[in-house]
Every structure is written in C-alpha cells, then in structure tokens.
Amino acid sequence: MRSTRIFPILAVTTGALFAALGLTTSATHAATPPTHLYTATMSRPYSPVPTNGGTDDYHCFVIDPHVTSDSIITSVTFKPQQKLIVHHMILFQVAQKDRASAIALNKNGAGWSCFGGAGNGSSFSSFLTTPWLSSWAPGRNTDTMPSGYGSPISQGDLLVIQIHYNLLAINFGGTPKDQSSVQITALPAAGSTLKPLYADLFPAPVELACPTGVTGPLCDRGKSLIDLARRTSSESAVESAGLNLICGESAFAPTPSNTSTCDRTITQNEVVIKATPHMHLLGRSMRVILNPGTAGERVLLDRPRYNFDDQSPTVLRKPIALKIGDTIRVQCVFDPTLRQTIPQLKKLPARYVTWGEGSSDEMCLGVLGVARN
C-alpha cells in the first residue's frame, strides 16, 4: 500500500501558514484521498492439466488482496505469468458467507477445476450468471473504471480468480507452470462519491456447421456436443442448449448460421458506461445495439474487425440510459473456414462448433459496464 502520511501533514502545515498570514484556503486545495494498492497472487505455481484429450483447463484459485479497509476499486491490473497459455481471467468477490467453502475448495493453494462458474456458493453456479468483479482478455491488461465509477470491496474480502488455460499454442516441451497475480487500485469507501459499476452479460448462441467440403465425425452436432461435455463439462452442453431456447431457437435442432443473434429485454433501469466484446478465434465482427429497428436505435458497441488479441473495452463518449422494456441485441459474425487455416486450430479434427468454454469452441458475448439506480 502506498504511503500517504505526508499529504495530510502538508495540508495542515499549509493551512496553518495561510492562517498566520491572514489568508484563507480554497476547498480545491483539500488533501487528495489516499490511493491504496493491493496485490493478490496465486499462493503457489500451477501446471494446467486438460482432461479427456482436450486442450483447455478452467481452474479457480482463492487469492487474498489483504484489503485493510472498506474501499472502492478504481482499476484492476491482471498479470498473467504465462501469457502463451492464458486465454482469459475472471475475478469474483467472495461473500463472507462463502468464505469458508472457498478456502476449503482451494486445497491449500492447489485450486479447483471450474468449467462454467467458479462453483463456490450460490452466486458461482454459471459462467453466465456469476457476478463478475473484473476480467482480463488479450489486449486489456488493466481494467480501469470510467471516471466517477468504481466497485466496492470490503476489509478482509477474498477473491476467486478463474483462469482459462489453453494449450493449443504448446507445440513442444512440457507445460509451463503459472503463478499469475492481480493488482488493485482503490480509494477509501468512507466519503467516496464514486458510483458502483456492474457487469451485465449479453450472450448469443453459436451454431457453426462444418464448411462445405469439410467432413468428419464431429461435424454431427450431437456428437460434437457429447465431445464438448467430455472435454470441458456437461454444463457447457446445457448452456449451449439453454441459450438457443432463451434466444428463440430450438434447443435441440437449431438452424446453423455464421451469424449469431439474441435479443434481451431490459428488466431494470441502468446506464451503460462501457462495452466489451468476447468471441474466440473464429470471430469476425460484433455489434451490441439498443432498440434495433426503432427510431431510438443506438449502437453501443461496433467491432467490424474483431481481433482476439485486442478485446479492450469501448468507453462510451456519453453514458446511455437503458429503461425497463428496452431491447438489447448482441450480434456476432463468424468464419468457420478459419479452423482450416489458423495454426492452433487446423491440427484439430473438423467439428460442428457451438457455444463452449474451450478455445476451439466459440462464444458470442457482449459485456456492458452499467450503473444502476
């Protein structure tokens, strides 16, 4: 934590000097609130171990930022030690009621397998329903809260960091051990005027058939989903079916398309501050649209040339209000032929690609940073 003792002393000394001279000090010269820097690191190195012939390992670890007082987070800097194998990282807060179970799952620093959500407590059941504190993907090492916003963290809070390890880029030698960390910048909660910022997730199903002329056993959707469940988790296959149902498609016989779309109705008033895209290696473009096809249509996010290595957020020039009953549409465009050209993918068997948590699967996910009334 950065030392701030000198600043109050200087403020008092300056005030006394001005008073002695018969002058007054402006409120604009008040002492700046001290900034705290908290660091949380995996307690020991971990070597990823994919299962059942897969190339992915979702692993969760409890990390302790040693928060000394109630604070408001203004930025999170992720420091993946082994960037070659770290696909993404998600940071979750551990509520006090879940503290003991999280520590037990952590197995003295060894962590636990956590495809889907973190699997700790009622809030950690699903990748799509777990409340995120922050996240990292290539191109965005520091998650900086927009001016005027932050995320609360209490004294003594623990964190769970979920790391998606992917070994597609390992062509020789053993798997390196990883001991990643995060750094959190925060201000004291007492007297803070910063508004809480939340992550709102907008997913769409993915149904990519094998390109014309490409064949193989896994080009059958049913066999592909069985393989998805085997090498990741059964929850991944359930999410794939559930997303289709939620978004107006058949859960078990959807129409394949290189474009994924889903509309969601807003159920509470909120204000969009920033927007972030997430797809995997077959993604070409993404848009998130407010009230599409109406006079009030607004584009919240437009990435016409999606780049997996740059998933940085877009901070809106002016916050946009979402009202109960509004529609948010997320739309992604994919190119399944890239499986035959991308070095990490072309060595894999041809397959029907669905929503899934492996790097050789796909996602269509818009993440909105929102403030709520």
Q: What pLDDT digit, counting tens, does each position of 119-152 carry?
A: 766 544 555 556 678 888 888 778 999 999 999 9
pLDDT-derived band at 33, boundaries 50, 70, 90: low
If one compares 204 and 126, the residue with the highest pLDDT of the two is 204
Q: Is the dihedral of CA 152, 154, 155, 156 positive or negative?
A: negative
Separation in Å, CA 114 to CA 74, 101, 149, 162, 220? 27, 14, 30, 8, 27
Q: Which residues contact 90 (CB under 8 A, 6 or more apart)?
A: 130, 132, 134, 135, 136, 161, 162
Say yes or no to pLDDT of 60 above 60. Answer: yes
For the chain, the domains span 1-32, 36-195, 198-372
pLDDT for the residue numbered 128: 59
In CATH, the architecture of 198-372 is Sandwich (2.60)
Query: For 19-42, what is the mean pLDDT?
Result: 63
Lowest mean pLDDT among 2-11, 53-62, 218-227, 254-263: 2-11
What pTM was estimated for this model as a whole? 0.79
Separation in Å, CA 139 to CA 77, 82, 283, 286, 316? 12, 15, 16, 16, 18
pLDDT-derived band at 173, boundaries 50, 70, 90: low
Question: Alpha-carbon distance 244 to 231, whole Å?
Answer: 21
Tokens at residue 234, please?
Answer: 């059964």
pLDDT-derived band at 3, boundaries 50, 70, 90: very low
Query: For 98-113, what is the mean pLDDT?
Result: 91
Classified by CATH at the fold level, domain 36-195 comes out as Jelly Rolls (2.60.120)
Region of 126 (left: φ > 0; alpha: ψ -120 to 50; beta: rest) is beta
Question: Alpha-carbon distance 333 to 259, whole Å?
Answer: 5
Give kind and range of the element (H or E) at residue 77.
strand 71-79
- CB of 131 closer than 8 Å to CB of 123: yes
pLDDT for the residue numbered 343: 86
Region of 123 (left: φ > 0; alpha: ψ -120 to 50; beta: rest) is alpha
Burial 298-324 (b: 16+ CB within 10 A, else e): eebbebeebebeebbbeebeebbebee
Lowest mean pLDDT among 55-59, 72-76, 218-222: 55-59
User: Which runs of consecutive H residues, i.e. helices, occur in 1-150?
Assistant: 6-20, 99-106
- CB of 332 closer than 8 Å to CB of 364: yes
Query: For 214-232, what is the mean pLDDT?
Result: 94
Q: Which residues contact 238 (CB under 8 A, 6 or more apart)?
A: none
DSSP state of 297: -
Say yes or no to pLDDT of 8 above 80. Answer: no
On average, the pLDDT of the chain sits at 86
User: Which runs of consecutive H residues, i.e. helices, occur in the chain?
Assistant: 6-20, 99-106, 221-231, 234-246, 343-346
Say yes or no to pLDDT of 103 above 60. Answer: yes
On the question of a common fold for 36-195 and 198-372, the answer reads yes
Query: For 169-178, what is the mean pLDDT?
Result: 77
DSSP state of 3: -
Question: How many other C-beta atoms lie within 10 A of the C-beta of residue 266?
Answer: 17
Separation in Å, CA 346 to CA 73, 87, 307, 350? 41, 18, 19, 8
Q: What pLDDT digit, counting tens, does each position of 249-301 carry?
A: 999 899 999 999 999 999 999 999 999 999 999 999 999 999 999 999 999 99
Q: Tell me which long-range contacts 251-256 makes (C-beta under 8 A, separation of at least 24).
A: 254/205, 254/207, 255/207, 256/207, 256/208, 256/209, 256/221, 256/352
Say yes or no to pLDDT of 58 above 80. Answer: yes
pLDDT-derived band at 42, boundaries 50, 70, 90: very high
Tokens at residue 21, please?
Answer: 């001279």
